[in-house]
Amino acid sequence: MNKLKVNLYEFLSCLSNAQDMVMPELSNHHHMVAYLAYKLAERADLSANEQKDLISAALVHDIGALSIGERLELIENEPEYINDHAFKGAKLLKNFTLLTDGVDRIVKFHHIPWNNGKGRFYEDEEVPFTSHIVHLADRVCGMIKHNKDVLNLVDSILASVNRNKSIIFEPNLVDFLNEISDKEYIWLDLVSPDPLEKIPDIGLFNTIELEEEDITNIAYLFSQIIDFRSRFTAYHSAGVAKTAEKIANLMGFSPIECNMMLIAGYLHDLGKLAIDNSVLEKPDKLNTEEYQKMRSHSYYTYQLLSNISSFAPITEWASFHHERLDGKGYPFHINGDKLSLGSRIMAVADVFTAVTENRPYRKGMEDSHAKKVLNDMVEDGALDRNVVNVVIENFNLLNEIRGEAQHKALEVHKNFLHCM
């Protein structure tokens, strides 16, 4: 297999959808902001590269605000701590090698008010003009939300924006918004199912051949998004990812396939962003209703990742980890003869990690108990015998790898919070 490739737009769109999944009431907000930012950039005659960076930043502008309460407050008004999430988001994006250097800076300053020209700078740093575009687009879209009767909101939106011309918003951008506001299609595009489909120049986003560092960065970025929502979920995913990667290596997968397995492991619980935090972080066993909610997560993982065309094997390996060889798994009930070896490895890695790690409601199992669980699940028709045999034969090595990965995940989480 050649190097893994990814279309940057597809990837950023997936990232945006993952953020929106935290709170369905705010779904499409990032796409709306990206579309309006594009229309303003078009009027401002920005270059193709500037437009590309602007759309990229708009798609992930609230990546640093993934708690439900914080996101809702950001959409509805501008609290005193408004820049906190922007600075966190910029920190997450700064080392993400798929984006140009300027994208993190656009995100960092996207809530700086114009303040009669003082907003050209923040302390000693120059604020990109494109940050002010995102700021205006963000506030306008916050006033629209999902109101399908958007044309009746235009006058009140413009009145609010014009009142804050030069105070909060860059004056030229306010003029541009006024100029394009008589085009009804723009407002109707904003409340369409996917505003980004209306951008004709989405081809600006090319397909990128990933280096190993890029793959690591993708895995890290998604794990941080999950971490914001549930530290334990990120802790678990780190263990699954490194365990699955090593099992794949032991079973003869190529280096690039092992890298893909690593990404799949980090992303296998991405759909848990759609699950209430009270369920994710419950320090006890789930009741029947909670368990049924939890069972939906692998479906949402599939929905998110399937939009990245080059991620097909990764999507499968990440999403089918609760399928069983006897066809009694969930959510797709796929029979064993249709489950790839990669999917079987991920299923075993998930169980191995779950039984050996410390969970909120219990300590990790003793080795003998963990091995018995794995073997019993083989006999019950759930797991692949050959994969489980590899795990049993390399149990101590894999358990050490899992423990180190999860310890590192906790340290990364602590260090990130400490730096804020």
Question: What pLDDT is stored for residue 167 in this prediction?
Answer: 98
Q: Which residues contact 304 (CB under 8 A, 6 or more apart)?
A: 14, 17, 18, 21, 270, 271
Contact in structure between 176 and 40 (CB atoms under 8 Å): yes
Residue with tokens 């263990």: 239
Question: What pLDDT is stored for residue 325 in this prediction?
Answer: 98
Q: Which residues contact 388 (CB under 8 A, 6 or more apart)?
A: 348, 374, 375, 377, 378
Question: What pLDDT is stored for residue 92 in this prediction?
Answer: 83
State the pairing for strand pair 121-122/125-126.
Answer: antiparallel
3-class DSSP assignment, residue 205? coil
Question: What pLDDT is stored for residue 105 in this prediction?
Answer: 96
The whole-angstrom separation of Cα 321 and Cα 351 is: 9
Q: pLDDT of 12-27, one tens digit each?
A: 889 888 888 777 667 7
Contact in structure between 16 and 66 (CB atoms under 8 Å): no
Q: Which residues contact 93 (CB under 8 A, 6 or more apart)?
A: 60, 63, 99, 103, 104, 107, 221
The whole-angstrom separation of Cα 116 and Cα 106 is: 20
Question: What pLDDT is stored for residue 207 in this prediction?
Answer: 82
Asked whether this chain's domains 5-207 and 212-419 adopt the same fold, the reply is yes
125, β-bridge pairs: 122
Under CATH, which number does the domain 212-419 receive? 1.10.3210.10
Question: Domain 5-207: which topology?
Answer: Hypothetical protein af1432 (1.10.3210)
Q: pLDDT of 118-169, one tens digit each?
A: 999 999 999 999 999 999 999 999 999 667 799 999 999 999 999 999 999 9
Four-CA torsion 290, 295, 296, 301, nearest 10 degrees: 130
Residues of the chain with pLDDT under 50: 79, 81
Question: What pLDDT is stored for residue 202 in this prediction?
Answer: 67
Specify the pTM: 0.87
The whole-angstrom separation of Cα 229 and Cα 91 is: 17
Q: Where are the domains of the chain?
A: 5-207, 212-419
Of 317, 307, 311, 325, whose CA–CA distance to 349 is shortest?
A: 317
Contact in structure between 26 and 73 (CB atoms under 8 Å): no
The burial class, CB within 10 Å (0-12 / 13-18 / 19+), for 418 is exposed
Question: What pLDDT is stored for residue 97 in this prediction?
Answer: 79
